[in-house]
Structure 1
């Protein structure tokens, strides 16, 4: 059976990868560069409270339950000047507000793996910081690490076709994080690191011209693509705790008590 089991640091794709990691009890780093991960990092950096929620459940009802605002789609929210899945819609003016954030990829993978020992959100924006947080947690929790690039979903799959579309932005984001993780890497993780190392001098260009980047640009969200392509712009590392994201350092303080 296919397995990266001999190695303590692995990379697995999408929802299936998130489930496999959760069943093993790994520390999980969810990577959805365009845009769930980048949005969560940016929102938490701005002082917001983010509650991830899968798209197949009633996010509006859940928002009422937690006293937060349900985030609308990019285009709809932009008309009303509201926060959205677009990371650049979050700034310090929203500090202290609660939001329920759903997405087909990052939020779904988070929901699948929400019972793991620790779940972090990683992106290009916080690649080194998320790896350092995972290294600390791994030492304290004695658990392996799986980085989960979420990929995208094909909009019109035919019968018997997979819906997962692997995306270079998530692969490069995963490779960046893996490059700062301690421990022996699986061959899959090593190749992912190699992709990042060979591309890091032109990350923003590659993200800009990627299929996902071109899709967002065509919809008028060029600023998102530019923002999400920045390497290590933030030290903020979101960690899932009681259904919302907190700063990972808060968990470290708790573990020291």
Structure 2
């Protein structure tokens, strides 16, 4: 028998499996991938760009051509030619009203897994209070529970009998930041996540700067992405999935 967090109205479930479980229950879902899918989507919508999330196992380039959008390339490849990338700081006013297809192994994949829910929001450290406010409002309006999905990362060179999901502390603390503004009956998983954030709040920037994901981006030349992603409540923009793309929530 599978013992889940069903007795509670606010839950935390990891990765693609967690996204599917939340979708199967019909929960309101908040996708959290701090470095960098969530932060990139929030920043892109702040500049009025239109983002179509797309899973990496399907042909995103073909899909982009079909809908008349630009397919977002990898950070290093796109940066060389000055295009928007998975890097959140690559988006500016010039991208306003332009459409982009964004694929990623974590945030975009989890979004695809949980797309058929009453509401799917994107949350991160930079919009923690705002995404919680919208989720609280939707939960009250629809009487639906809330599941936050920290997407995590993928291990490199996964060997036989090993899991590919690498739990990432930037997502765990990002979820904790959102939980600090949510209301409801928290599961033990959510309570511990909230406690981690409250304990680390005063040094969260230092922790995430030095965490594995942060160091990886910095060593690849994307320190600006990490700095941008660590700004608590920097934006009020809350992306919500409508049909196949994200729009700003009007709540």
Give the count of matched residue pairs.
250
Determine if the alignment matches structure 1 residue 114 to structure 2 residue 111: no
Partner of 1:75: 76
Q: CA deviation at 1:65?
A: 1.5
CA distance in 1, matches of 2:37, 2:27: 21
CA distance in 1, matches of 2:122, 2:68: 23
Partner of 2:239: 238
CA distance in 2, matches of 1:92, 1:140: 34
Q: Residues 78-157 of structure 1 correspond to what in structure 2 (within 5 A)?
A: 78-157=79-158
Partner of 1:62: 63
CA distance in 1, matches of 2:199, 2:181: 15
Q: CA deviation at 1:5?
A: 0.7
Can you give the 5+ residue segments of structure 1 that lack an aligned partner in the other structure?
A: 253-257
Can you give the 5+ residue segments of structure 2 that lack an aligned partner in the other structure?
A: none
CA distance in 1, matches of 2:227, 2:205: 7
Deviation track 1:189-216 (CA, whole Å, cap 9, x = no partner) reads 0000001001111111111100000000
Q: CA deviation at 1:2?
A: 2.1
Partner of 2:165: 164
CA distance in 1, matches of 2:167, 2:96: 34
Q: Residues 8-19 of structure 1 correspond to what in structure 2 (within 5 A)?
A: 8-19=9-20
CA distance in 1, matches of 2:208, 2:93: 26
Partner of 2:216: 215
Q: Report the TM-score when normalising by structure 2.
A: 0.99
CA distance in 1, matches of 2:76, 2:32: 23
CA distance in 1, matches of 2:223, 2:229: 10
Partner of 2:184: 183
Secondary structure in structure 1 of the residue aligned to 2:224:
helix
Q: CA deviation at 1:32?
A: 0.1
Q: CA deviation at 1:11?
A: 0.3
Secondary structure in structure 1 of the residue aligned to 2:5:
coil
CA distance in 2, matches of 1:242, 1:171: 28
CA distance in 2, matches of 1:179, 1:67: 40
CA distance in 2, matches of 1:5, 1:224: 36
- Displaced runs of 4+ in structure 1, greater than 6 A? none
CA distance in 1, matches of 2:211, 2:157: 19
